[in-house]
Amino acid sequence: MRVAVVTGASSGIGAELARALRGRGWHVVALSRRPAPDADEHEECDVADRASVDAAAARVLSRHPAIELLVNNAGRAARAGYLDGDPESIEDVVRTNYLGSVWVVRAFLPGLGRGSHVVNVVSVAGTVADGPYSASKHAQLAFSRSVSTELARRGVSVLTVNPGYVETPGFPQRDRLPRPVRSLVVDPPFVVTRILDGLDHGRREIFVPRWYRPAAWLQALLPATLTRLRSR
C-alpha cells in the first residue's frame, strides 16, 4: 500500500487531490482542522501549531512508518495589505502558509525514505510581491527550493507547485475579480492534473497554468518598473 499524506485535504485543491490519489490506488491520510471525507484517514491537525503537527505526525507514523508522498497544501488567504490588515491575520498567514510546511516536513522526515516525494503547493503570489499573503508564499517558495537540495541528499524529490487563480471555498476568485481577469481562473481538477503530471515526469517546479511563469521573470528582472506600474 502506497501512503500519501495530504495537508489541507478537507477543502479545495487538497480534497480534489485526495480523490485523485485514491483513484490511482494511493492510501490517503489527511491532516486538517475539519474532517476530510475524501481521504481514507483523517488526523485533526493545525499546521500553524508545531506541537499539533508533531503529535499528528507521530500518530500517523505509528500506523504508517513509510510515507511515499507528502503534500504540503494547507494554506489560508489574507486579503488585506500591511497597513489595513489586522496584525493577527498577518502573523497567522506566516505561521500557516510558511512555517506549517516547515513543521510538517520536519515531523514526517522519519517516514520519508529514498524514492519518496514531497509536493509543496505554493503560489504565483510567491513570485510577485503583493501583501502579507504573498510574503508568506515567498517564504514558502524559498523553503521549498531550499529544502529540495537538503532532501535530495536523502533521495527524496521535491515538486514545487505555483498555481495562479483557482476557484476554491477558501479562495473564491470569480465573484471577486474584475470581469476580464475572471477568465484566468481555473478549477481544482486542472491543478491536480498538473500536480500528478509533474510527479509522473519528475518535475521540480511548475506554474499552473504555465503562462504565469513570465510574471515571475518580470518581478525578478524589473522590480522597480513593476513597483512603479503597480503604484499608479
Ligand X SMILES: NC(=O)c1ccc[n+]([C@@H]2O[C@H](COP(=O)([O-])OP(=O)(O)OC[C@H]3O[C@@H](n4cnc5c(N)ncnc54)[C@H](OP(=O)(O)O)[C@@H]3O)[C@@H](O)[C@H]2O)c1
Q: Kindly list the catalytic residues.
A: 133
Q: Smaller CB distance to ligand X: residue 193 or 225?
A: 193
Q: Of the ranges 10-18, 56-64, 192-200, 223-231, which one interacts with ligand X (CB under 6 A)?
A: 10-18
State which amino acid sits at residue 155. Answer: G
Sheet with 157-163: strands ordered across: 41-44, 27-32, 3-7, 69-72, 117-121, 157-163, 205-208
Regarding 165 and contact with ligand X (CB under 6 A), the answer is yes
CA dist., res. 92 & res. 99, Å (int): 10
Regarding 166 and contact with ligand X (CB under 6 A), the answer is yes
Task: Show contacts with ligand X in window 200-229 (CB under 6 A).
Answer: none
List, in sequence order, every beta strand (DSSP E) within 40-177: 41-44, 69-72, 117-121, 157-163
Binding residues for ligand X, rule CB under 6 A, total 30
Length of the chain: 232
Regarding 12 and contact with ligand X (CB under 6 A), the answer is yes
Q: Of the ranges 63-71, 83-91, 150-158, 165-173, which one interacts with ligand X (CB under 6 A)?
A: 165-173
Regarding 168 and contact with ligand X (CB under 6 A), the answer is yes
Instruction: Give least dist CB 67 to ligand X, A.
Output: 17
CA dist., res. 14 & res. 20, Å (int): 10
Q: Which three cell numbers stand for residue 165?
A: 487563480
Q: Which three cell numbers stand for residue 15?
A: 480534497
Q: Which three cell numbers stand for residue 223?
A: 522590480
x/- site string to ligand X, residues 85 to 114, per CB under 6 A?
-----------xx-----------------
User: Which conformational region is residue 12 in: left (phi greater than 0), alpha (psi within -120 to 50 degrees), or beta?
Assistant: left
* Contact residues for ligand X, defined by CB under 6 A: 7-8, 10-14, 32-34, 45-48, 73-76, 96-97, 121, 123, 163, 165-166, 168-171, 173
